[in-house]
Structure 1
Amino acid sequence: MLHLHLVNAVTAFGGYAGHGYYGTYVVKYEGRHAAEIRALHGRPGVDVNGRNNIFTLNVVQYWDAELCQRALGYGRDEVIKRLTGKVPLVRPLMDGVYVVFNDNPDLTFEEFCAYNDRLKPVLGLA
């Protein structure tokens, strides 16, 4: 599903971002980081997990070229370089990048938090 079918959906819709969620882990994770998210909401022009910000690394994500530049400050090739060998799948898709951060169907919340904690700094995210 994550390696093929979601890629097809993202391509078909041609969106700027795509997210694959695992249960309520995103809600729980962002609840743990509520103060950080409130601070981001307080910064003019910041769209948390939107058009110019990436806060949570969902199990699978697609970011177009513009979102990469706005949120990360670099392009898809740099995302691929930084994540190669650290995630199950990272590859170019349309003008952006498609990343499977975790494809374990038995993923625990602790594992979800751990890969966020480990990979956000790799991408230069706070």
Structure 2
Amino acid sequence: MLVMTFVTKTLSAVSGGAARAAVLMVTGTKNLVRAFVHRREVMRLSELDERGLKDIGLVRSDIDGALAVSWLSDPSSVLQARSHQQRSAAAHRREAGVRRPVVIQAAACLSAKEIKIACNA
């Protein structure tokens, strides 16, 4: 009885380890295939002219930087990070542009009130 319990536990541990190894192998293969597919898509992006790249928010150096990563890495993650940086910088510029006229407008109203008070005095 004791021997059967020991053998059963050992086999279940082996099967769990084999299952984990199989999952890791499938996941790794899937990530590798995804990286190759994305690399091919980034290479197709490099065929666009500067105007086409600008339309999607990229420049030539972004494409070159993405293709410079290892063949085992996904180049689209580099493009995604660059796009996120540009979006946040553009949002910051928009926010600063919205704040500035409000400040100028408030200063103009304030000086108009001061002028009105000075004229009424």
TM over 0.5: no
* Higher share in strand: 1
Q: Rg bigger for which structure? A: 2
* Higher share in helix: 2
- TM-score, length of structure 1 as denominator length: 0.20
